Structure 1
Amino acid sequence: MKFLAVATIVLAVTGVAVTGASAAASGQITGIGGKCADVTNGSPANGTRIQLWTCNGGAAQQWTVRDDGSIAALGRCLNAAGTANGAAVQIFDCNGSTAQQWTASSGRLLNAAAQKCLDATGVSSADGTKLQLWSCSSGTNQQWTLPASSGGPGLCPQGPFGNPMPSPNLTATKIRDGFNFLEGPTWDAASQTLLLTNMYDGTGSQNVQPSDILRYTPSTGAFTTFIPNAGSNGLAISRDGTTIYAATHDQRSLSAYNLATKQRTTIAANYQGHLFNSPNDVTVGANGTVYFTDPDFQRANRPDQMSGRTSVFRVTNGVVTLIDDTIREPNGIELSPDGKTLYVGGNASGKVYRYPVNADGSTGPRSDFVSLGGTDGGTIDCAGNVYQVTYGDGKVHVYSPSGQSLGTISAGRNATNVAFGGADRTTLYITSGTPSSGGNTGNFGLYSVRLNVPGWPY
């Protein structure tokens, strides 16, 4: 049984203390009759009731167990509407209140505000049975199985894994094009959507490129503007699913956007008083350390304050530390599933590098991983295989953790980045296309391909 990361709570009905332990995970929550906790009609609106429904793998049944003790689906949190027996259980904007704090013990889910348990009304397993709060008991209608978690912070299933490639040479399928310049895809498990950046041609005297964060919903095929004027390039979701870290070239900074409020916070503004060039790609460790690359691609006409250096940095508790300033145009950056290896693509150096990562997030000496020119973004799967994009040929190159080539995936003409997503984590999304020749005439698209191994991070 997995426990949520919340403080010790005493069950009033039994007098037994239960303590939560960190177990971030995503997937279905199953109850009586093997039915799934389901957001009624898949509606993300505040106040939508939670019901039992036949498990179908849909986004309305995909729950993320967060490190703060909340449980989220469709971008909202599991919420008790009151504290009395029969109080409705619904989804609502995540707000950190005790009405959204849950502890798992002996198969039950205890709500912190009410000190009552998640309960299927009338001891029924019929489709449409509403969930409520009720005094805790040993009844089957209060028994729940949370998403399994294993492998580091719990985002990968157990192996062993086979070859991720169905064949050595794959071609991804275009989902939609017509965007000016796509970058930075990252999967939001709570809403079962993909977030990505659309960059536009430079404007103003400094020729800085504006950009929006888009949201792609696979279940509907819709693309919407999630955060306009975000100034972003690469993106990464925080481990607790509440924040999107953004390499923001508009302010030459590393930023964080709250996914619920869309409020922006600056995480790193400079290094030793010198402005960064144009932060590009970003990844985040289990302990909250954020790593990012700082080439000069989007610095535009702004002054160079890095004395010609392009670098790799980490940020821990607000402190910016230099990892490496000897790679010419570092670009994609990824952590292995166990958090012990950091990979960085050298766009202009012709190599992909790796660094050992210590328990405190610091890194050891760099070594060469593979030789590969023109690298852009990248990602990792749950077996530790490395997916590295090369811009010039529109391909994703796949390598085992030992550096053995496993094959390539073709997508469009100029590939920029890649990320795993989907309910089962095996869909690889790729951004690729033709850059603008002026006047926002670019034609970039989002592509996808199904693979054999689930992706990381999820």
Structure 2
Amino acid sequence: MKITKSSFVFLAASSLAVFGLAGCEQKKSEPVASVVNTSSSTSVVNACGVAPAGELVAERIPGANSTRAEPSLYEGPVWIKDALYFSDFLTSGTFPSRIQKLDANGVMTTLIDDSGSNGLAVDAQGNLVAGAHKFKNLSRYTLSGERTSVIDKFEGNVFNSPNDLAIAKDGTIYFTDPAYQTAAAPGGQDKTRVYRVATDGKISVVDDTINNPNGVSLSLDEKTLYVEGGDAQGVLRAYPIVDGIPQAGKDLVTGLVIPDGMALDCHGNIYITEHAAKHVRVVTPEGKQIATINVDANITNAAFGGEDGKTLFLTGAGAVWKLKLDVSGSPY
């Protein structure tokens, strides 16, 4: 509802991510990874590090527990410089939302009190780009809280409740528009869709056959678009991108339990959050499951961050979890 949520977005301002995504990009041209046998599994090893394997458990960050009196969801985690930013919205009424900042010491403060946001991404200028159900559009926020609109309508109508988004290196935006927070404001679309926003602002439909499309990301080489959705009959669908245009998609993983957001590591493995299952399913780019990461509440999204980019942060029902890994990954 996250990265590049995501894909890797190699930002022009490299200071946005202290762990240096450009370094990961260079490693993709290195020799093919070797394979080593461990006592419990076969793990992929190269300069990127060891991919996770087996059953793992992420731990809560105590300072990030919700301070709201009503149930809320955290969404759209994104790591910028030395902090994690995410949306924090109520699950009823008009879904009022704010953007929180969680610093490296685990202290949470409110950055924007009334953002109306869900999924977040970062543009090349270091601004937050949000799927904003309050405005039924994509909105851009500076870190000082100033908002502008990115895209407002499709075929004359506002969107349902823009959810997750991914930004390519050239500025092309892909986003999902399910119906989860349609009641936040009047109007909407006749279908739930996946959209592409070209650099000239022209919007087109990628797919309108997934019920409530949710998480969206780009592969490391930006030659594949990944989209999750389908609620209880959830899928991860992969769309080859040819000359910048996504082609017909193919289901890479089926049988997901309410898939939500996702992130990618530097091997290209995909970290799929399954909302009601309370876990992350880690799969290879070919769709083979290699690990499961468990949490203790409903989960929404994922992002890599921390000093070296090797901490996986997970958001969910009024909580943020973390898990130290041997691989770095996408900051949203």
Q: 1:273 and 1:227, CA in 2 relative to 1: closer, same or farther beyond 3 A?
A: same
- Alignment pair present for 1:251 and 2:124: no
Cα distance per residue 1:324-378 (max 9 Å; x no partner): 1110010011111111111111142421101112343x21111011011310111
* Match of residue 364, structure 1, among 237, 243, 247: 247
* Match of residue 149, structure 1, among 9, 12, 22: 22
Query: Could you tell me how far 1:456 is from its partner in structure 2?
Result: 1.9
Aligned to 1:319: 202
Q: 1:73 and 1:387, CA in 2 relative to 1: closer, same or farther beyond 3 A?
A: closer
**Stretches of structure 2 lacking an aligned partner (at least 5 in a row):** 1-8, 34-43
AA partner of residue 358 (structure 1): V
Aligned to 2:119: 234
What TM-score, normalized by structure 2, do the two folds share?
0.83
Q: 1:156 and 1:454, CA in 2 relative to 1: closer, same or farther beyond 3 A?
A: farther
Q: Which has the larger radius of gyration?
A: 1
In the alignment, the residues of structure 1 paired with residue 307 and residue 29 of structure 2 have an alpha-carbon distance, to the nearest angstrom, of: 13
Query: Could you tell me how far 1:158 is from its partner in structure 2?
Result: 5.6
Query: Could you tell me how far 1:295 is from its partner in structure 2?
Result: 0.3
Map 1:135-284; keep pairs closer than 5 Å: 149-150=22-23, 152=25, 160=33, 162=45, 163-165=50-52, 167-176=53-62, 177-179=65-67, 180-189=72-81, 192-202=82-92, 207-218=93-104, 220-238=105-123, 240-259=124-143, 261-284=144-167
What TM-score, normalized by structure 1, do the two folds share?
0.61
Contact kept in structure 1, 2:137 and 2:161, CA below 8 Å: yes
Aligned to 1:406: 290
Map 1:339-358; keep pairs closer than 5 Å: 339-348=222-231, 349-358=233-242
AA partner of residue 183 (structure 1): E
Q: 1:320 and 1:213, CA in 2 relative to 1: closer, same or farther beyond 3 A?
A: same
Which portions of structure 1, spanning 4 or more consecutive aligned residues, are displaced by more than 3 angstroms? 70-75, 147-152, 154-161, 301-305
Aligned to 1:310: 192
* Match of residue 390, structure 1, among 241, 259, 274: 274
Contact kept in structure 1, 2:225 and 2:241, CA below 8 Å: yes
In the alignment, the residues of structure 2 paired with residue 148 and residue 339 of structure 1 have an alpha-carbon distance, to the nearest angstrom, of: 14
How many residues align? The count is 299
AA partner of residue 445 (structure 1): A
Question: Cα RMSD between the aligned structures?
Answer: 2.5
Higher RCO, 1 vs 2 (CA within 8 Å, ≥6 residues apart): 2
Contact kept in structure 2, 1:149 and 1:157, CA below 8 Å: no
Q: What is the percentage of aligned positions where both structures have the same residue?
A: 34
Three-state SS of the structure 1 residue aligned to 2:61 is strand
Contact kept in structure 2, 1:150 and 1:156, CA below 8 Å: no
Q: 1:339 and 1:270, CA in 2 relative to 1: closer, same or farther beyond 3 A?
A: same
Query: Could you tell me how far 1:301 is from its partner in structure 2?
Result: 6.5
Contact kept in structure 2, 1:347 and 1:376, CA below 8 Å: no
Query: Could you tell me how far 1:389 is from its partner in structure 2?
Result: 0.5
